[in-house]
Chains A and B, each alone.
Chain A
Amino acid sequence: MAMEEQKPRKWSPILIVLIALVIVLAGALGWALVQLAAPAGQARVTYTIGGAIAVTGAAYQTDGPIRRDAAILAVDQMNAQLEAAGSPVRFVWTNENTAGTADGARAAFQLLAAAGVKVVVGPLSTGEVSAIRDFVTQNKIVSISPSSTGVGPAIPNDYVFRAPPTDIPQAKALAQLVDDLGYDEVAIIARNDDYGRGFADLFESRMETVYSGTVLRIMYATDATDLATEVSQLNANVQSLGPGANTAVLMVAFEGDGLEIVDEARLQANLRGVRWFGSESTRRSAFLNESAVPQVVQFLLDTQFTGFFATPPVNPVTTAFEQAYTAAYPGRDPKKSPYSYYSYDSAWLAMLSVLAAGRYDGEAIATALPGVAEKFIGASGHKMLDANGDAIFADYTGWRVVRDATTNAPTYQPFALWRFATEELEFF
């Protein structure tokens, strides 16, 4: 028996029209509600501040989120001020993780550009900045890096701005400090990337030409997870320099690699017996996490780990930022990442420049930014920019790892100040 053929169900034209009507009416109702919600003549204007801040990867997995949250805090504070003033302008934040790589930074900026973003806080490292420089300049997207300090991207007339100064003053300050403390033979272990290479070059040149010192160096692959061989070579270099009272080690590292170096160094007799210095990138909370890496902390205490950071020691904006950060993120401390101060300032510079430009346009924002920065004193100090769009100066605070007298916890204790204007070093 043949089965009865089932007729396909037909949609009634009336039903179709009714559904269409409901959709149109729902849309119209939604639109009307949105209009009612906005005050008359005060249509909400929303500008996006993009973030290209690494929150994963060995270099930034601890530090990155602290810096990102500082930028978010700035956006929230600005919105609160705008709301209190009755302004229709609001800023929104969206962050693309760059993972601290050149490839990741390019992908993040391309996506942010696709989302219509014209001003971005980030990326963090010099390698990432170099990778996105051409893209942002060609497409007129403003990038404000809160922590790139390498000399390579210091080029005029591009769309890259950097909140900290380049490594040149820091290398000067560190070489001066090393010499003042009586060390003239230095073994460097540095990241083999443009930041590590650049900083090591600047320091070595300064030590040898100005202070007639002797410098030996080891560069290591940034993605290596085992640095035992490189640390053994460093030990051999200290041996050849003579592990005496005038020999020191300089470590130019980030987070994961720095921890690995110290963990290997504590096993080497020569390295345990000399003073250690670090670049500003080694002043990280992960290094002083006594419950996670007690042996690293002990080594840094024993070797009086010392370095500089480009930040004013006392500043009311700094204090206000620290209090606001702790209030917004209970139990968290921005001091654990000194560059969080810079990402906070970078976000403020981005938003103030948009307001100063009067329109959300990369070219206008880039034009307004230097003027805004010139008048801006933030949590990390005065942000006047040079012709390359980098912070023109900073005084450098010297720090060393000691146990806090009251809490007995390991801490980066400020003990000196290097003044940019006079190139003089003062000890507290």
Chain B
Amino acid sequence: MPVDLAFLLPLLGTTFGIFLILALSFNIEYGYAGQPNLGKVFFYSIGGYVAGALTTHALWALAGSPADVPFLEDAGGAVRFAVARANPAAIVGLFIASLALAALVGAAFGWLTSYPALRLRGDFLAIVLIAVGEASRVFVLNYEPIAGGVFGLSGVPNPFAWLPPRVVDAVYAVLVLVIAFGLYVFAIRLTNSPFGRLLKSLRDDELASGVYGKDTPKVKARALMIGSGMAGIAGALYVFYVQNVYAADFIPIVSFLAVTMVIVGGVANHKGTLVGAAFMTFLDLVTRPVFPTFFDIYWRPPFDMNYVRYLTIGVIIIVVLMFRPQGLLPERPVETSALKVARRRARPSPSSNPEPEPPGRG
């Protein structure tokens, strides 16, 4: 049975795009600003909850809030899908509003998070943020008004739900990739700007940065706001892709996945993050038991491939990091305009003068 590219490519494209945004946001916070935000899933989930709550309630209102259908159950989801298909402008508008609101609310929570970040560093900050992510998941799981509690919110329709079924996912994948690419360019420009160098100074020596008159708490807050806003966007995109919200989906492994992408790809290098996200997306696919069937290979080993999958992924990551501890693409000097000019001036000289040392690491 041949592989169905109409399913596979949108799946890979969407997954990669969402992973990339999440990993970029972690790279800005950790790779550049030195803030190990291991509670990444918390901000990701905020985006999901915002998008889910806004979209489901708005569509429910458009449906006239039918009293005979339970809002939280699958039947309620079916009603919302029907409304979305009948009102393309409404669902597209809700999607755009959800993305904007997810970014804003995510950024606001990122700003709040900067308060513990002022007092805690390194491992302690990471542990606090992991705990925040877990606590919020348990809270949302037990408090229905936010995201339906244990029932979740079904019926968060894809913004292109009104298109033919086979086209919906493909169009959405393209949109996610465009948004991811836009945020990739944004991340590069941000970290190559004076603000990016300020972030690196904070990472390399916060005390020295403060001595030079930099307002380090404010810089940390901004970095966390930007990263958290991006994670919020990723969460909203995820929810519109899977078309429902379950608090139980937002578990710490999501944060660690983003960390792995950045570390495998190369810390403080957005190209590395891109490679890391692509690598992990690919690795996830090729270790799936269903993968050989894409090539008409139906091998039934004496053990279940599902059991060796996680082991295989772990071994591959360990091997990569053993031989490339700096990541697949290590950190490089900042590409400032001054550096480009210096390079240009150095290049024509035939006397093979060595390239001038870039002006510091930051």
Q: Do A and B bind each other?
A: yes
Do A94 and B151 touch (CB < 8 A)? no
Distance in angstroms between the alpha carbons of A130 and B288 in the assembled complex: 23
Q: Does B142 contact A (CB under 8 A)?
A: yes
Q: Which of B70-78, B258-266, B340-348 is found at the contact surface with chain A?
A: B70-78
Interface centre among B11, B75, B141, B293 (most CB of A within 10 A): B293
Q: Does B87 contact A (CB under 8 A)?
A: no
Q: Does B249 contact A (CB under 8 A)?
A: yes
Cβ contacts under 8 Å, A115 to chain B = 1, 3-4, 290, 293-294
Known A112-B290, A133-B74; further 11 A-B contacts with Cβ < 8 A: A50-B290, A55-B307, A95-B289, A102-B248, A130-B151, A130-B244, A131-B152, A131-B244, A139-B165, A151-B73, A194-B151
Q: Does B32 contact A (CB under 8 A)?
A: no
Distance in angstroms between the alpha carbons of A221 and B11 in the assembled complex: 31
Do A102 and B150 touch (CB < 8 A)? no
Please give me the residue from chain B that is nearest to A151 by CB atom.
B73
Contact-residue bracket for chain A: 35 or more
Do A94 and B293 touch (CB < 8 A)? yes
Do A96 and B288 touch (CB < 8 A)? yes
Q: How far is the CB of B169 from chain A (nearest CB, A)?
A: 8
Cβ contacts under 8 Å, B7 to chain A = 110, 113-114, 139
Distance in angstroms between the alpha carbons of A97 and B307 in the assembled complex: 9
B243-254 contact mask (Cβ, 8 Å, vs A): 1 or 0: 110101100000
Do A223 and B293 touch (CB < 8 A)? no
Q: Does A46 contact B (CB under 8 A)?
A: yes
Distance in angstroms between the alpha carbons of A217 and B151 in the assembled complex: 18
Do A94 and B152 touch (CB < 8 A)? no
* Number of A-B residue pairs at CB separation under 8 A: 125
Q: Which of B227-250 contact A (CB under 8 A)?
A: 242-244, 246, 248-249
Cβ contacts under 8 Å, B288 to chain A = 96, 111
Interface centre among B7, B74, B75, B246 (most CB of A within 10 A): B74
Distance in angstroms between the alpha carbons of A127 and B306 in the assembled complex: 21
Contact-residue bracket for chain B: 35 or more
Q: Does B36 contact A (CB under 8 A)?
A: no
Do A130 and B152 touch (CB < 8 A)? yes
Distance in angstroms between the alpha carbons of A97 and B288 in the assembled complex: 9
Do A134 and B4 touch (CB < 8 A)? no
A residues contacting B by CB (< 8 A) are 46, 48, 50, 55-56, 65, 68, 92-97, 101-103, 106, 110-117, 127, 130-131, 133-135, 138-140, 151-153, 155, 158, 192-194, 197, 221-223
Do B1 and A155 touch (CB < 8 A)? no
Do B11 and A116 touch (CB < 8 A)? no
B249 touches which one: A102, A133, A138, A155 (CB < 8 A)?
A: A102
Asked whether A138 and B165 contact (CB < 8 A) given A115-B294, A131-B246, A194-B150, the answer is yes
Q: How far is the CB of B12 from chain A (nearest CB, A)?
A: 9
Distance in angstroms between the alpha carbons of A110 and B238 in the assembled complex: 14
13 contacts between A and B (CB under 8 A): A46-B298, A48-B298, A94-B290, A97-B304, A102-B244, A115-B3, A130-B152, A138-B165, A138-B168, A152-B75, A152-B151, A194-B151, A222-B150
Q: Does B145 contact A (CB under 8 A)?
A: no
Cβ contacts under 8 Å, A117 to chain B = 1, 290
Do B246 and A113 touch (CB < 8 A)? no
Cβ contacts under 8 Å, A131 to chain B = 152, 154, 242, 244, 246
Cβ contacts under 8 Å, B138 to chain A = 221
Asked whether A134 and B155 contact (CB < 8 A) given A96-B289, A110-B11, the answer is yes
Cβ contacts under 8 Å, A223 to chain B = 248
Do B141 and A152 touch (CB < 8 A)? no
A92 touches which one: B154, B248, B298 (CB < 8 A)?
A: B298
Interface centre among A101, A155, A192, A194 (most CB of B within 10 A): A194
Q: How far is the CB of A282 from chain B (nearest CB, A)?
A: 19
Q: Does B190 contact A (CB under 8 A)?
A: no
Cβ contacts under 8 Å, B178 to chain A = none
Do B4 and A113 touch (CB < 8 A)? yes
Please give me the residue from chain A that is nearest to B156 by CB atom.
A134
Cβ contacts under 8 Å, A155 to chain B = 74-75, 78
Q: Does B60 contact A (CB under 8 A)?
A: no
Please give me the residue from chain A that is nearest to B137 by CB atom.
A223
Asked whether A94 and B154 contact (CB < 8 A) given A116-B3, A135-B243, the answer is no
Do B249 and A134 touch (CB < 8 A)? no
B67-107 contact mask (Cβ, 8 Å, vs A): 1 or 0: 00000011101100100000000000000000000000000
What 6 A-B pairs have minimum CB-CB distances, sorted nearest first?
A97-B306, A114-B8, A114-B7, A116-B1, A92-B298, A113-B7
